Amino acid sequence: MKVLITGCAGFIGSHLSEYCLSQGHEVVGIDNFDSFYSSLQKKSNLSFSLKNSRFAFFEGDITDINTLVKLPEGIEAVIHLAAKAGVRPSIINPLTYTHTNITGTLTVLEWMRQRKINKMVFGSSSSVYGNNKKVPFSETDLVDFPISPYAFTKKACELLNHTYHHLHGLDIINLRFFTVYGPRQRPDLAIRKFVELISSGKPIQLFGDGSTARDYTYIDDIRDGIYNALNYTVSNKNVFETFNIGNSHPVKLIELVNCIGNTLNKKPIITYTSMQPGDVDITFANIEKAKIILNYNPSTLLNDGIRNFVNWFKNDAIIE
């Protein structure tokens, strides 16, 4: 199959590109090396895929339909991951988030309609659950109360996807990822910051008292969830589904910090400060639906995932 991966130079997109290539598919990748973090890191993320003759890379912006129309013919499915990610920066720059995430998704959908490509997997986020008090979070829970512009854009995209499913028959799966970590993780995310500071003996700042919890999900598990969802849309008709893709084992912030300290063999120096606007208390995925329908079975233990991340950080991360 020939699949388009948007955001192919990013953390998740670069892993997906490599995996789809390893499974024998042709991959067309698009990325604009958005300035949110180092383009050197993104170019390095792409280096493995670029060696494969079944990979075609296009540097360009998904919000520009004139760029999308130049993509090669024969694309059968889209894994749409390009976005402005991150909760806190979305509070500072909401307009860039609505433009890239909502206009960008609408442009991709419109291009798909024109090209008659009708299979898509979309990278949504656990942030749509806001400060949901009921745990674990289920796909049937009401997600009408976003608490950041980023979360709002992801919910808006899920609704846009439904609109295109209803009007134009596109088969679409929304996957709500829960805090993804592992090699190539975005530098704005806590794990990378903590590893960088703790390994150099510097203090780290915890927002809250350390009791907030996240359902950290290792990149290989996320990748398998996306790949299984791709196969599901391709082999079924009239698909519109939303799935949680998490680990279903929330870890407290202080436990994460201790795990990183143990892996680095360093004692973390911690200062505590108040929670940030847009932060939620807990994320916790109910993954029963994905287990049953997508055969999704996350298996990476936090200790193993953190060790893999630390190895990558020490040997391959681009630190500017």
- Catalytic residue numbers, as ranges: 150
> Could you say which of 5, 13, 132, 228 contacts ligand NAD (CB under 6 A)?
13
**Residue closer to ligand NAD (CB basis): 35 or 235:** 35
Q: How many residues bind ligand NAD (CB under 6 A)?
A: 29
Is 29 an interacting residue with respect to ligand NAD (CB under 6 A)? no
- Exposure class string for 274-313: b at 16+ Cβ within 10 A, else e: eeeebebebbbbbbebbeeebebebebebeebbebbbebb
Q: How many CB atoms lie within 10 A of CB 158?
A: 20
Distances (CA, A) of 217 to 78, 81, 178, 220, 268: 23, 17, 6, 9, 23
Is 63 an interacting residue with respect to ligand NAD (CB under 6 A)? yes
Is 61 an interacting residue with respect to ligand NAD (CB under 6 A)? yes
Structure tokens at 287: 């993954």
* Shortest Å, Cβ 292 to ligand NAD: 22
Please tell me whether residue 303 adopts helix, strand or coil conformation.
helix
**Residue closer to ligand NAD (CB basis): 266 or 289:** 289
Q: Which stretch binds ligand NAD (CB under 6 A): 70-78, 178-186, 191-199, 311-319?
A: 178-186
Is 302 an interacting residue with respect to ligand NAD (CB under 6 A)? no
3-state helix, strand, coil in the chain (%, to 5): 45, 20, 40
Is 19 an interacting residue with respect to ligand NAD (CB under 6 A)? no
Structure tokens at 45: 């993320």
**Residue closer to ligand NAD (CB basis): 82 or 195:** 82
Q: Which stretch binds ligand NAD (CB under 6 A): 24-32, 258-266, 281-289, 293-301?
A: 24-32
**Residue closer to ligand NAD (CB basis): 65 or 167:** 65
Structure tokens at 137: 């979070």
Distances (CA, A) of 278 to 48, 68, 125, 152, 250: 36, 33, 14, 11, 19
Interface positions with ligand NAD (CB under 6 A):
7, 9-13, 30-34, 36, 42, 61-63, 81-85, 100, 104, 123, 125, 177, 179-180, 186
